[in-house]
Amino acid sequence: MAQHILVLHGPNLNLLGTREPGVYGRQTLADINTRLQQVAQEHGASCTFFQSNHEGQLVDRIQAAAQDSTDFIIINAAAYTHTSVALADALSAVDISFIEVHLSNVYKREAFRHQSFLAAKAQGVVAGLGGFGYEAALRFALTN
Ligand code: DQA
């Protein structure tokens, strides 16, 4: 059961709330993070959050997770999901269990969103449940 969960948000997720609300909903990133921290605390655990629009910064943060007490990662790599060998390699390098999350159901969108460089290494993938998808991933991490 995870105690220290790192929640990573990739590019453009800082714009949640106003970004294509028909696709991504009206919740802001702060709304999502607040809810996750609340759920984590109810389980005596804690979340650390990091959002970046830059691939290298996300790689650096994943690498840093090997040196802090992170025992689970929840990642919405956003567009980098579909392009980034570097993020996939970083996740393999640190060898920390992770769940890939997408707010939208990427499988009913454009074909380029059907490919993920991360999914094959993930413990699981959650897509299409909006902000609740993060919470579902967190509840798994907290109880398994
Ligand atoms: C996303 C889906 C990606 O295809 C897209 O590039 C995003 C967000 C999602 O949460 O639904 O930025 O990861």
pLDDT band at 40; cut points 50, 70, 90: very high
pLDDT at 25: 93
Average pLDDT, the chain: 97
- Look up 80 and say whether it is catalytic: no
CA–CA distance, 89 with 117 (Å, rounded to integer):
9
pLDDT at 76: 98
CB neighbours of residue 114 within 10 Å: 11
CA–CA distance, 103 with 25 (Å, rounded to integer):
8
pLDDT band at 105; cut points 50, 70, 90: very high
- Look up 107 and say whether it is catalytic: no
Query: What's the predicted TM-score (pTM) here?
Result: 0.97
Pocket residue to mutate for ligand 1, from 15, 32, 104, most atoms within 8 A of Cβ: 104
Q: At what angle do helices 85-94 and 55-65 cross, to 10 degrees?
A: 10
78 CA distance to ligand 1 centroid (A)? 4
